[in-house]
Structure 1
Amino acid sequence: MAIPLTTDIAQMFDGYGRQARLFPGLLTIFPPLLAVFAWFPWLLLSSIGATLLTVATSCGLLYALGSYARTKGRRIEPSLRKAWGGWPTTIILRHRDSHLDQHTRQRYLSFLGSAVPDLPAFPTAEQEAVDPSGADAVYDSAIVWLKEMARGKDFSMVHRENAQYGFRRNLRGLKPVGIIICGLTLAASACAIVYSNPGFFNLLQKHDWRMAIGALVPLGPAVLSAMAVNAAAIIIWVFVVTRQWVWEAGVQYATALLSACDTIRLRRMLPNASTTAA
């Protein structure tokens, strides 16, 4: 049975939606889904699996999965922002931050100060030290304006980095769910092994590793690989999908977004330049 999955996904998600919302959800369910197919390979060999996938796509379950991933990501943002001390875009505009050199920061602040309507003057380093929350409010307002301006094909780098940040944020939001379902999948697989090999637990207690491994061999490479994938997924969830991992993507997005100041300035200068040349 042919499944028009690519077309359906393209209709439900744009580029950002696929990378930032759908992919985290699919990565979360992939290890346990792989285990299900390893234990029940007939699902792949029959039309049932294709039918279920078609029904899932048609009923919007993939869209629901992407929406759930976005919800989990948005829910953890307040705690991330609190741990970081603000949005990455705000942080790197601060005079006391070191992600940008002082000349680049001043160029961005000068442009935003002249381009954003009704924006209070940006604070100096001394004013920022005296009233950091007030300074952040000015930076935040400028960033809101810049996000709206940095849309369209001229800002592809901004869109890519935004999608990367959304991907990592949403995956971090799904972390507890991912660990739980991978753990449950491993536990279910272990129970199935013990059930089909009543003496397996005794072999482990006696540290008879050779016999224990020999009892696992008949399970086949698919089941063993699926268990290994779920175990590896738990390790990745714990040690890779961290707050620092999301922060790094946030800084990359913030840097790309602020660099849009130069692109916007150039676009505003080009009409004047053409007029002068004429």
Structure 2
Amino acid sequence: MEVFSQFDTYSLKARVFPALISGLPLLILLFMLVPWDHLALSQVIASSIGFVLIFAFADLARHRGKKLQERLGTGETPDQWLRGNRDVPEGSKDRYRGFVAEQLALTAPTLEEEQSGSELSADFYQSANAWLREQTRDHSAYPLLFAENITYGFRRNLLGLKSIALVCNLLVLLSCAGILYFESGYFAALPNVEEKVYIAVAAALLHSAYLMTAVNELALREASRAYGRQLILSCESLMHSHKSSPPKDESA
């Protein structure tokens, strides 16, 4: 759809998609209770409300996702650099550690510094990850890293919207109960209104079950570590590109 063309790939998959998933039962109820056999003001209003909800949820997804990341300490994963962490082979980390230390013009932490919990050690690995992120912004050159980043962003933002989505599902269920109980003139005149309401109820219940079982902190941490691992492994390509780069002519 053209309305989504203004979003880049990351924003679309990691922000808009969680927004759509979070507000799905609400959108289903909205569009099922408006007749679409003809174009009128109600259809225009319903469409506008739907798009506004998507944009609002997408912005909220980013905000709440960032807050969640700060609270849980995900996304950075500097501990994956530590000796003894099995996410990346030790031999590879030794090479990457030396390479990054050279690029940062810093001294890599020793085993003793890591075990003592030195602030210099933590700062070095945070700086290493920050440097790697800046060096790997070309998504076409690092597609696996970009894919892992999208997966992490999707899970983070969806988990950030989880409580709001569950509240919306409750509102959908209450609205459906009210429609069936009061049978107001407008809703009674809609074709197959009871069938549509029951579909909205089923959507809200299934959606809530999905949120309660699949959207959780464990899945987020799993995606965070997968992204962190791939970020460290990107050193391999960077080391190769640095070796392949011709030396600068200092006489110029």
TM-score w.r.t. the length of structure 2 is 0.84
Within the alignment, does 1:51 sit opposite 2:44 as a pair? yes
1:172–1:241 Cα contact (<8 Å) kept: yes
For the 8 Å contact 1:8–1:57, the answer to whether it is kept is no
Give the one of 84, 92, 99 matched to 2:80: 92
Could you tell me the percent identity over the aligned residues? Answer: 24
CA distance in 2, matches of 1:168, 1:239: 13
Q: Select which of 47, 59, 72 maps to 1:67.
A: 59
Tell me, yes or no, if structure 1 residue 113 matches structure 2 residue 113.
Answer: no
The alignment status of 1:219 with 2:219, answered yes or no, reads no
Deviation digits for residues 31-87 of structure 1, max 9, x if unmatched?
Answer: 11112333x141x333246634764699x7654432221011111112111xxxx65
* C-alpha deviation, 1:263, in angstroms: 0.9
Find the counterpart in structure 1 of residue 238 from structure 2: 264
The one-letter code of the counterpart of 1:27 is: I
- Structure in which a larger fraction of residues adopt helix: 1
Q: How does 1:199-238 map to 2 (within 5 A)?
A: 219-220=194-195, 222-238=196-212
Counterpart amino acid of 1:146? L
Q: Which residue of 1 aligns with 2:128?
A: 142
User: Which residue does 1:26 correspond to in 2?
Assistant: 20
Gaps of 5+ in 2: 184-191, 248-252
Matching residue of 2:189:
none
User: What is the 5 A alignment of 1:165-176?
Assistant: 165-176=152-163
TM-score (norm 1): 0.76
8 Å CA contact 1:96, 1:125 repeated in 2 = no
Partner of 2:188: none
The answer to whether the Cα contact below 8 Å between 2:27 and 2:50 also exists between their aligned partners in 1 is no
Given the superposition, is the C-alpha separation of residues 192 and 161 from structure 1 closer, same or farther in structure 2, using an over 3 Å criterion?
A: same
Question: Over aligned residues, Cα RMSD in angstroms?
Answer: 2.5
Q: Which residue of 1 aligns with 2:222?
A: 248
Count of residues in Structure 1 that have an aligned counterpart in Structure 2: 237
Q: C-alpha offsets along residues 84-139 of structure 1, whole Å, 9 cap, x if unaligned?
A: xx6553121112322122112222212211222x33x2222221111244321110
Q: Is the 8 A contact 1:182 1:234 kept in 2?
A: yes
Q: Distance in 2 between matches of 1:53 and 1:41?
A: 7
How far off its partner does 1:17 sit? 0.7
2:14 counterpart SS class: helix
Paired with 2:43 and 2:209, the residues of 1 have a C-alpha distance of 31
Kindly tell me: are residues 107 and 191 of structure 1, through their superposed partners in 2, closer, same or farther at Cα, counting changes over 3 Å? same
Pair 1:16-2:26 in alignment? no
Where in structure 1 are there 5+ consecutive unaligned residues?
A: 1-5, 197-216, 274-278
- Would the aligned equivalents of 1:88 and 1:247 in 2 still touch at CA under 8 Å? no
